[in-house]
Every structure is written in structure tokens, then in C-alpha cells.
Amino acid sequence: MIIDSIYYQSLLTDRIKNAPRSFIREILKTAISPDVISFAGGLPNSKLFPVSDFQKATNKAYEKYGVSLFQYSNTEGFLPLREWISKRYFEKNGWKIDSKNILITNGSQQGLDLLGKILINEKDEVLIEQPGYLGAIQSLAVQGARFISVPMDDEGVNLDIFELKYFQSNSKLFYCVPAFQNPTGVLYSSEKIVQLSDIIRDRNMIVVEDTPYNDISFTQHAIPSFYNHIPDQTIILGSFSKTTVPGMRIGWIVAPDVLMDRLIVAKQAADLHTDISSQMIIYEYLTMGGNDKHIQHICDVYSSQCNAMVKAINEFFPEEVRFVVPKGGMFLWINMPKSVSSLKLFHDTLAQKVAFVPGVPFYADGRNDASTMRLNFSCSDKETIREGIQRMGSVLEKMLNQE
Ligand SMILES: Cc1ncc(COP(=O)(O)O)c(C=O)c1O
């Protein structure tokens, strides 16, 4: 028998054969070079990781927990950490969430995977923002979800289209990122959340509210949440990736009792439990004091980088581009004239040693081009941002003039 790639292909499940590749990862392969200015990544700025505080927290964890750092642990997660999360929800939002309704996951990305496993049957319909978070599109696609896309406007998903698609489809899940969405940076308005909650309330629908950027806020705007209006129909995904460190992979899910029971079974089947030493170290870091000050520092740095990008876009991009100034998060989303292919623009700007992510992969409807793009501002300093945007501006200008 000849073992070749066709043979291996034939072994694959339909689920994985049909799942989209991480386009960003593919594209970044071409863009990773020290002389390329990259707005393509989606990483937190590693210069801001609180390394020495983590060193102290690690030493403390070694002294305090000893061998327990290295032993198997329970599936639900380290109880003091779950209690810390519960207390924080109460202090910040006045929510009373019992620690039994919090499951620690391997990043919030695992939360998505587990939710897909317990809620999605093959071909189940899921309402999703368009453009939407690529990791959610990929994760839910692997579970066999069919996406019903609802376009975003400047304050969240378009309400009329949401209502129409909700009633036309059999969707039982709505996945959204209400604060500083990836990829658009949009913060939902409180009114929008109230109106959407009114549509969803008491109907056969669960909202999955993904909140990794909630604390990365540049203004005093209130962060709206479905949990304030329809708590029994809201599942929250949380993460320490953007406020502390992403590499330890600590996230969590907040879910009602019955769903939590099934999530714990799914988590057990997936990996027994999340790395206990990381949970203990993060807990020691959080309770050392200084976490809020650190988050404020991240917000200040990202806010000034975001301002630099907005200023440079206003100066160097053609007048026809449209964008919403982000109030937080790590991304800025650009709408260009319809005639501009973001894929062609990507190749032309890469020739000028600047990279970004073309809008295409963020659309769950499978289109193969778009006149939109995502720019990341968390990882470049202000001078680099100005230089990169200036180079992009000249390429864009040239493209528009050639029409
Ligand atoms: C909206 C959204 N959800 C989830 C994640 C994954 O976060 P985590 O590191 O907690 O898995 C990201 C990461 O970029 C994200 O942007």
C-alpha cells in the first residue's frame, strides 16, 4: 500500500476537513521579518508583561503550595482563583456570581471549544457578528456550526438584521464581543444591548459574551453587558490574557448550573484540568496588589498608540476611508472604498514592508475578498505607527488613483 497525502486526507473527519485554516497565521508567515512594520498581529505588547512581579508571585507560590503545584488537580479550577473572579465581578459590576458557576479554562479559547461541544450539533445555526472574531469562527466551525452573520455598525450588530435573522433561523446561540470587539474595536452602546436583550429575553437563545478586552478601556464609558439584562440567558467568557499574560493560558467561563455541569464533563474529557501551577501563580500575582495599576498602565500605553494611529490615518490615508475611533482594545478597523481589494493592498503594502490583516477571514460567510482591514496598535511604538501608516497611505492613494 502506498502511504501518500491522499491516504492521510481520507482519514480526516468532515469536521476538520471543512474547518477554515487560520488565515492570519498563514499570512503572518510571510510578514514575519524584522524589517516589516507589522500591524497584522493580535498580540498584547510583551514589553508590558509584569515579569518581575510574576517572578515574585512564582516564588511565593512555590513556598505556599509546594508539591501541590505539580500534582493533578480538580476540573473546575483552583477555588481561590474562582473566588477572586467572583469577588471582582461583585466589586466592578455588583453581580453575585457563585464560584461554582465559574470554570477555569485553558484560555477563553478553550471556553469556546467546550461551549461548542455542549451546545452545537452538526449544522446547528449560530448568530455571529460580521466581521467577527476569527478564533470563534474557527472553533465553532470545527463543531459543525453554520453561521448566520449579522453586520456590525458603529454601536454593535445591526438591530433590524439581527431581529430578522433571529426569527428566520433556528439559531439558539448568539456569539458576540460587546467591548472593543476583535476585529472592529467597536464598543456596543448600552441601548443596543438593551434592545437586543429585549428580543432575546425568554426565547430559546443563549448569548455567549466574550469579554477579553473589557478592562482595556481608554475612556470612562460604561462597559455594557447582556448579564445586566438577561443573566439566565448569558454565558460569559473571561480571560487574563490581555491584562496579565497570555502564555499561561488562564481563562474562565461563567455559566448557569445545568450548563456548568455539562461543561465540567466536557472539560474533564478534554484535558482533566487547566495547568494548576499557572492558576496558583496568577492567583498569587492578582492578590499581591498592583494588578489594577498595571491594567491602567496597559490602557495608557495602548491609548496613546491608538491616538498615534488615528492621527496618522487622518494625515496620510485618502479621505474616502472610514473608521470608528476605538475606545479601547487593541484594534482599529478600516473600511475602504468598495473598489479596493484588501488582498491586493496587502501584497502591495508588504512590498513596502508593512503588514496588516485583510478583512476577508473575519467574515463567516466565506467571501474571498473585502475592502476592509484590521490594524493592530498594541505592539508598535508611535514613531513606527506613523511611518507604517504613511507608507500604507501612499500605496492606497496610488491604488485609488489608478482606477
Ligand atoms: C475576542 C477574543 N476571544 C478570545 C480570545 C482568546 O483569548 P485567550 O488567550 O483567553 O484564549 C481572543 C484572543 O485574541 C479574542 O480576541
- Evaluated on CA atoms 191, 91, 290, 45, the torsion sign reads negative
Helix-then-strand count for the chain, H and E: 14, 14
Q: Give the pLDDT confidence of 324-364 residue by residue, as tens digits.
A: 999 999 999 999 999 999 999 999 999 999 999 999 989 98
Ligand 1 contacts CB of residue 106 (under 6 A): no
Mutate to test the pocket of ligand 1, among 134, 235, 239 (most ligand atoms within 8 A of CB): 239
Which atom of ligand 1 approaches the CA of 112 most closely? 4
Q: Are 38 and 385 in contact (CB under 8 A)?
A: no
Q: 7 or 21: which carries more pLDDT confidence?
A: 7
Ligand 1 contacts CB of residue 135 (under 6 A): yes
Sequence-separated (6 or more) residues with CB below 8 Å from residue 305? 377, 378, 380, 381, 382, 385
Which atom of ligand 1 approaches the CA of 109 most closely? 11
How far does residue 178's CA lie from ligand 1's centre (Å)?
13
Phi (first) and psi of residue 28, to 5 degrees: -70, -25
How far does residue 180's CA lie from ligand 1's centre (Å)?
12
Q: How is the chain split into domains, by residue range?
A: 16-48+292-401, 70-286
C-alpha span between 8 and 4 (Å, rounded) = 7
Which atom of ligand 1 approaches the CA of 110 most closely? 11
Q: Are 37 and 353 in contact (CB under 8 A)?
A: yes
What pLDDT is stored for residue 1 in this prediction?
63
What pLDDT is stored for residue 27 in this prediction?
67
C-alpha span between 123 and 147 (Å, rounded) = 9
Which atom of ligand 1 approaches the CA of 111 most closely? 11
C-alpha span between 247 and 298 (Å, rounded) = 17
Ligand 1 contacts CB of residue 178 (under 6 A): no
80: preceding bond cis by omega (within 30 degrees): no
Q: Are 387 and 37 in contact (CB under 8 A)?
A: yes
Which atom of ligand 1 approaches the CA of 242 most closely? 9
Q: How would you label 340-376 residue by residue, b for 16+ Cβ within 10 Å and e otherwise?
A: bbbbebbebbbeeebbbbbbbbbbbeeeeebbbbbbb
User: Which CATH fold topology does 16-48+292-401 show?
Assistant: Aspartate Aminotransferase, domain 1 (3.90.1150)
- Residues 254, 260, 264: CA angle, nearest 5 degrees: 115
Three cell numbers written together for 182:
476583535
Q: Give the pLDDT confidence of 163-198 residue by residue, as tens digits.
A: 999 999 999 999 999 999 999 999 999 999 999 999
Which atom of ligand 1 approaches the CA of 42 most closely? 14
Mutate to test the pocket of ligand 1, among 108, 138, 180 (most ligand atoms within 8 A of CB): 108
pTM of the model: 0.95
C-alpha span between 348 and 342 (Å, rounded) = 10
pLDDT band of residue 401 (cuts 50, 70, 90) is confident
Ligand 1 contacts CB of residue 76 (under 6 A): no
Ligand 1 contacts CB of residue 329 (under 6 A): no
DSSP 39-75: -------GGG--HHHHHHHHHHHHHHHGGGGGS---S
C-alpha span between 148 and 128 (Å, rounded) = 6
Q: Mean pLDDT, to the nearest integer, of 299-314?
A: 98
CATH C-level class of 70-286: alpha beta
Ligand 1 contacts CB of residue 109 (under 6 A): yes
Q: Mean pLDDT, to the nearest integer, of 142-158?
A: 95
DSSP 345-377: HHHHHHHTTEE-EESGGG-TT--S--SEEEEE-
Q: Give the pLDDT confidence of 208-220 residue by residue, as tens digits.
A: 999 999 999 999 8
How far does residue 108's CA lie from ligand 1's centre (Å)?
6
Task: State which amino acid sits at residue 271.
Answer: D
Q: Are 13 and 351 in contact (CB under 8 A)?
A: no
C-alpha span between 130 and 135 (Å, rounded) = 13
Ligand 1 contacts CB of residue 212 (under 6 A): yes
Element (H, E) at 129: strand 125-130
pLDDT band of residue 158 (cuts 50, 70, 90) is very high
Ligand 1 contacts CB of residue 131 (under 6 A): no
Q: Are 130 and 365 in contact (CB under 8 A)?
A: yes
Q: Give the pLDDT confidence of 89-101 residue by residue, as tens digits.
A: 999 999 999 999 9
> What are the DSSP E strand ranges found in 222-311?
234-239, 250-254
Q: 399 or 27: which carries more pLDDT confidence?
A: 399
What pLDDT is stored for residue 368 in this prediction?
79
C-alpha span between 97 and 339 (Å, rounded) = 49
Ligand 1 contacts CB of residue 251 (under 6 A): yes
What pLDDT is stored for residue 26 in this prediction?
67
Which atom of ligand 1 approaches the CA of 106 most closely? 11
